[in-house]
Structure 1
């Protein structure tokens, strides 16, 4: 059991055993929904239940209610092994052993198999198992006010058994014996549960693969000696040795050595990255060549990999709006089907007078062929596969609802610096109003090294290689979209930023980007160049081909923005915008159509939040990453198109699944009601309707969607 704090609400996480299929998950989901909880996520494959609440004290009552439905809440899923008799696979095998002889009596001339008592003895273990498995779940779901699919299975199998039992003891003959129908319904539904559990576990494989990456050994250096420990036991500050072929155990910084590291599991980029002293390394990545000595900086749940896993798990809890239709139908499905079944019996028996036996079989067929499972599985399975495929391509999507929010995108709004451009700046010229150029350089360095902005980081890196005199500053602060303010120990006040925004620029300074002021007097002008990313032009062309209008929205000078826009093919440009002005621009575009914003700086954070979907680059500021709903771990701009394509095809898959789920029930129930499908065939069809939906979702794993 665990909990995570998200603003005013607590996200509660429970480990629940005893869930064998999506019916179980739906029962718990409906229970939590009834109690008014939000962000509900129930996954029977991983045995996880999550929901958010402002009042943490309700958790014991929730646990009691879940256990009242017949499930069990445990502390640690890894140490809670299912008993042999609790596994749905073993229940299916047990049922199958007794069901096969019951079915054989219809094709083999063995007289003892036709004996009603023998059939009763063969059916009784299966029916008892069905009562324990489906009956218990059905009773608890009715008691909790959320009747589930198991009610239909239990009523259908019980009707066939009781009808056959009366026929046996009143010696009414073989026409009244339907023990094989009862046993076959239970066995086939159990088979469906087995297939469903195995198939759904494949849809969560992306998270499982990432969890496996975490389970590595680390070589720790302690007092000159090395010891091999689990990555879980590494603490911040530990010195670790990582050799060729090893996985980096945790996040850290290189102290010595150099290596080529494969970061494809994180970024989707197959080309290894060269790492040397002071470079950052990420836990789970693989050293392809060389070896390093590193210091651990982030361990356990603080590592990038752990945060990605948690992000993906939470993403599954956000339901797309398209799922709400399925949920509404599923909520009234069971009572409606029982009503249709009773109506089928009444009409066929009293109106059409086809006999009690056939009327009963038609009614039972309606019960067992009906399947809300497929509706319940339609969205979550597609979302899980879509999120997994995106993650393997270096795209982190923070919620399943983001996939639908991206549909029919009309505008993609780009920030310029660090998004369409490399964010690596070169100083073309520093024009100082004083003769002491080294002091000016030192002042710029002292101010900019306190900022995380890409421009500042590039300036610092370049200035460090030039002759300079460092200046001691008493305070430095950053103003979103404006620049940096500072004060030195002598009480002088400095401003370093865009002169246009400060209202103090001089005429004829179009060649300069940044201006340094001391006590409101111009001290220096800085001209810097930023390189356009090589794939930016191709990305814009692809977006236009997809009927998406690209827009440039930047705080940079108008002349620089126009230069970049013309080079890559963007027609709509908004330059020299402060953060609050960016919000207004995003609002205007949102009124005209679905708008996606892609940015990376602190000044982009409000706009990322305001857009229909905010997309942040991996090397962005932490504020931008937290504000965005999508994070591109690979700075390759093709990730933008990949994200749009994955979202589009995931939504197509969801709609296909929902169509199949609804169409199946619309066609199957009337066929069963008029007697064209017997209960056994109905149980078989019901079991495989889930498998069809899951199979369609799994296609998304291999489907070619990037052409």
Structure 2
């Protein structure tokens, strides 16, 4: 039975008792009112309160106590005592047990509704999916349901239609609204060869694309899965609240017994009066709100992040972010555009480019792609290369026309001499923030290729924002020191660690962790170890699947400015958890002395039913606090000099 149904049952059967309480001061007594209260409360206890009792008993058998323990004991004591009192001619308070259950369930109904509102980000993401696709089958375009689309299908998308699955455009061009997935408000221009994301909206052109990822492999499906995992994750601070609950519940029960003994034994109160105080202590102390403090804030924070194109994978990340001192960034594809272009060729241009293209033809490295693109533009043919060998972090070697050729960085030059003219040219190019590739044949340098990967237009602003927050910024790259420092100077990076081999990135991150917690931002396969080693790994969504899997936070847009937003959102979510815990405890701290009758002499007391109402509102205040996280400002403005 749902919480809502249990609440309505409790309310309906409690209302007659409420009417009886209202009529009593006017001298109107309902005949057999005690028996009526007994029957009504028995139904409430048997139906609405049963899950509380079952949960408390299950915990007791495991030698534990939980929040339901206090509700079950408080209402059971009131109910059982009232049965005893009914047969011995004393005052009963069946209504207290029924009202407490009603108010506790009222609080849970509010919680459930607000929890559903907080988690509707997942439902909205799922609703974004297209329902059908226009697919080429047997030479004809036919509309089929989305679940029948398979990898390799050619799909046509008209203006205004949703793109069915992830793929790559094979024909045509358009602009696409990707805001529902990446949070990017501006439409993105797409042409042949560009990737498209399922569930995004085609704006003004018609194109064909080949399906690459379908079903659960699409980006939207992966986002939904990440958000679900994050919202159900367990933040480490929750371990503290669980331990507190383990101690708190037995302590409250002991305090309730002491309250009863003090009033009955030492202050001479009646059993009924002493019992009311004892039950009120149990009910007001029930820390239901404590259990909501973390999960509701997590739901709202991760849901809001998903709408912004920021995926927070779990609750652990939130706590780690709070203490981050240093943000380390990869260069290529993170600070820079990740699309290097050949800018200069020193030496016999055709020969240098031909040798380089011959060796780089089978490589997927961004610099190799730049060389191949230049060769294509210049109509330079690549020759067949044999005995190909890649040297990690240095370059490649092979036999071209029976000559040993190599292409690589200055680490390849240990046994090769470079003349002073080329040396001076290399320094000049590197000082211009260009990466220099050496091309050689038979242990002799025949030329240089200068390649430049310009910083993103947003990188300078992003780094200024991080520095304004008091964070130390570091660039960690395998590129040459001069090139790295030129890029760092242009965008405002504090510190440069260059000439780093891919396998050594994680070691450098570990060394930086000696000065405090480190966040690492990267997008490539070689960034995965560093993303895992860092206290907070932030993967750029345009990067490889391996990098994204390794990151604790995933940025769906390839925009470095989202790093600051992700850190701020994580901090605000974690701070909201702490605020929620404060509200969860403050009701108990303030309410227990009142419920125990400490201020009874000055006319201030708390009946069990009012204690139940106060407890319901404590849960409501915690959930409301979490929902207000949606209104928090996340995007700071930083003025650039």
- TM-score normalized with structure 2 length: 0.90
Aligned residues: 615
Residue 169 (structure 1) aligned with residue 87 (structure 2): yes
Q: Which has the larger radius of gyration?
A: 2
1:677 equivalent in structure 2: 606
Question: 1:448 & 1:394 partners in 2: Cα distance?
Answer: 35
Instruction: Decide whether the 8 Å contact of 1:595 with 1:611 is kept in 2.
Output: yes
Rounded to whole Å, the distance in 1 between the matches of 2:308 and 2:358 is 39
Q: Is the 8 A contact 2:360 2:372 kept in 1?
A: yes
| CA distance in 2 between partners of 1:653 and 1:607 (Å) | 29
Matched, 1:147 2:44: no
- After TM superposition, give the deviation of residue 224 of structure 1 in Å: 4.1
Residue aligned with 1:414, SS: strand
> Which whole-Å CA distance do the structure 2 matches of 1:505 and 1:93 have between them?
87
**Equivalent position of 2:129 in the other structure:** 214
Task: Name the counterpart of 2:319.
Answer: 404
1:82 corresponds to which residue? none
Q: Residues 450 and 476 of structure 1 are in contact (CA less than 8 Å); yes or no, is this contact kept in structure 2?
A: no
1:555-611 C-alpha deviation (Å, 9 max, x unpaired): 211221221222222342222222355444323321112222222334433333222
Per the TM alignment, residue 361 of structure 1 is displaced from its structure 2 partner at its CA by: 0.7
State the match for 1:457 in structure 2. Answer: 369
- Decide which of 255, 279, 282 is 1:364's aligned counterpart: 279
1:574 aligns to what? 497
Cross-structure match for 1:481: 393
Q: Distance in 2 between matches of 1:461 and 1:331?
A: 65
Select 1:125's aligned residue among 43, 46, 49.
43
Distance 2:570 2:228 in 1: 17
Which of 537, 547, 563 pairs up with 1:624? 547
Determine if contact 2:7/2:48 at 8 Å carries over to the other structure: no
Distance in 2, Cα, partners of 1:330 & 1:573: 48
Is residue 2:426 matched to residue 1:537? no
Query: Is this contact kept in 2: 1:474–1:486, CA < 8 A?
Result: no
Q: Which stretch shifts more, 610-619 or 639-648?
A: 610-619
The counterpart of 2:252, out of the listed 316, 333, 337, is 337
Aligned partner of 1:251 among 153, 166, 169 = 166
Whether 1:268 and 2:186 are equivalent positions in the alignment is no
Cα separation, 2, equivalents of 1:317 and 1:346: 43
Deviations 1:638-694 (A, max 9, x none): 101111211121121111111122222222222212262110011111122112111
Change (3 A) 1:440 1:648: same
Query: Helix, strand or coil: the match of 2:168?
Result: strand
Deviation at 1:362, TM superposition (A): 1.1
Question: SS of 2:95's equivalent?
Answer: helix
* Residue of structure 1 aligned with 2:617, choices 682, 688, 694: 688
Alpha carbons 2:177, 2:186 under 8 Å: kept: yes
Q: Report if the CA contact (8 A) 2:389-2:398 is conserved.
A: no
Report what 1:595 is aligned to: 518
- Distance of aligned partners of 1:286 and 1:361 in 2 relative to their CA distance in 1, 3 Å threshold: same
Q: Distance in 2 between matches of 1:134 and 1:535?
A: 54
Output aligned runs, 1:251-400, within 5 Å. 251-400=166-315
Q: What's the CA shift for 1:99? A: 0.8
In 2, Cα distance between the equivalents of 1:569 and 1:448?
33
What does the per-residue CA deviation read over 1:294-320, in whole Å, with 9 as the maximum and x for residues that have no partner? Answer: 221111111111122222223345433
The answer on whether the counterparts of 1:453 and 1:621 sit within 8 Å (CA) in structure 2 is no
Cα 1:357–1:562 change in 2 (3 A) is same
1:634 is the counterpart of 2:634: no
Q: Secondary structure at the residue paired with 2:616?
A: helix
Root-mean-square deviation (CA), in Å? 2.4
Name the CA distance, whole Å, in 2 between partners of 1:376 and 1:474: 65
**Are 1:418 and 1:454, in contact at CA under 8 Å, matched by a contact in 2?**
no
Distance 1:197 1:469, change over 3 A: same
Change in Cα spacing, 1:667 to 1:115, as seen in structure 2 (3 Å) is: same
Q: Closer, same or farther in 2 for the Cα pair 1:317/1:121, shift >3 Å?
A: closer
1:562 to 2:491 alignment: no
1:499 is aligned to 410
Question: Which of these residues, 67, 91, 105, is aligned with residue 190 of structure 1?
Answer: 105
1:548 aligns with 2:460: no
Q: Check whether the contact 2:337–2:456 (CA below 8 A) recurs between aligned residues.
A: yes
Asked if the contact 1:515–1:525 (Cα under 8 Å) also holds between the matched residues in 2, the reply is: yes
- Aligned match of 2:55 in 137, 145, 153? 137
Q: CA deviation at 1:138?
A: 2.3
Question: Higher relative contact order at CA 8 Å, sep ≥6: structure 1 or structure 2?
Answer: 2
Contact 2:375 2:381 in 1 (8 A): no
State the Cα distance separating 1:102 from its structure 2 match.
0.6
CA distances 1:23-77 after superposition (whole Å, capped 9, x unpaired): xxxxxxxxxxxxxxxxxxxxxxxxxxxxxxxxxxxxxxxxxxxxxxxxxxxxxxx
* Compared CA separation, residues 571 and 144, structure 1 to 2 (3 A): closer
CA apart distance, 1:537: 2.0
**1:478-499 CA distances to partner (integer Å, 9 max, x unpaired)?**
554333x254586755433212
Cα distance, 1:157–1:532 mapped onto 2, change above 3 Å: same
Deviations 1:69-97 (A, max 9, x none): xxxxxxxxxxxxxxxxx122122112211
Q: Any stretches of 5+ residues in structure 1 without a counterpart?
A: 1-85
Structure 2 Cα separation of the partners of residues 695 and 539 of structure 1: 32
